[in-house]
Amino acid sequence: MRLSGYLTPLAAVVLALTSTITIATMQPNDMRNAAISLARMSFDLKDLIMQMNVSQHAGNMQDMYDEFDDLFDSTLSSIQLLPGSAVIPTQPDQQAVYEAYSYFVQGLFELMDALASSASTFTRLDKQSEFRVPATVRQLGGVVDAYLFNMIAVFPANTSYEAQASNQKTQVDTHIRRAVHAFHLATAQSPAPYSNVTVVE
């Protein structure tokens, strides 16, 4: 990834709000196009992961990490344009942006589910996957959290669009956690490794 360690959601939000000297703004059509572009990148990466899981060939592992980097960078670029954007005033624009937002969310759901279902294969093909994939997912998760947070802010408060977008953001967080957890479970010595923790005096 482009940043060392990984971005916590709070750090990603702070980065999004302070990373540009001049506050940029986006129009609804720009927001829609950016979200659709991010969604397509997510679906493309999901397809690569599914292909690798079926072929069980480790040769594309670096391609996968490169595509994660591209999605990370594109999401970060979109965040930098959102602060200062006005709340979307009209219902048709709200609907269009929300549909694009939901499309990106669906791409993230499928991407994380594909990773989770590929965990056993990836850790068998490359021992570093147990740690490298979760780190990569956490890094992406930081900027995704900030992006979704800023996108929610462009919907009028106390509307169904804001409520639904917030609910979807929570679901994205859950899918990301499941993907990370799947890689830890893939090399665990028991089906429930975290239930057998004992304190050593």
Note whether residue 2 is domain-resident: no
Q: Which amino acid is at 39?
A: A
pLDDT at 160 > cutoff 90:
yes
Q: Note down the domain range covering 96.
A: 9-188
pLDDT in tens, 83-96: 889 999 999 999 99
pLDDT at 21 > cutoff 80:
no
Please report the pLDDT score of residue 188 as a whole number. 65
Note whether residue 68 is domain-resident: yes
Residue of 102, 87, 128 whose CA lies nearest to 36: 102
- What is the rounded average pLDDT of the residues 39-61? 91
Give the number of domains in the chain: 1
Do 104 and 38 form a contact (C-beta atoms < 8 A)?
Answer: yes
Note whether residue 94 is domain-resident: yes
- CA atoms within a 13 Å half-sphere pointing along the CA-CB vector of 60: 18
CA distance 166 to 163: 5
Note whether residue 194 is domain-resident: no
Note whether residue 56 is domain-resident: yes
Note whether residue 197 is domain-resident: no
Note whether residue 198 is domain-resident: no
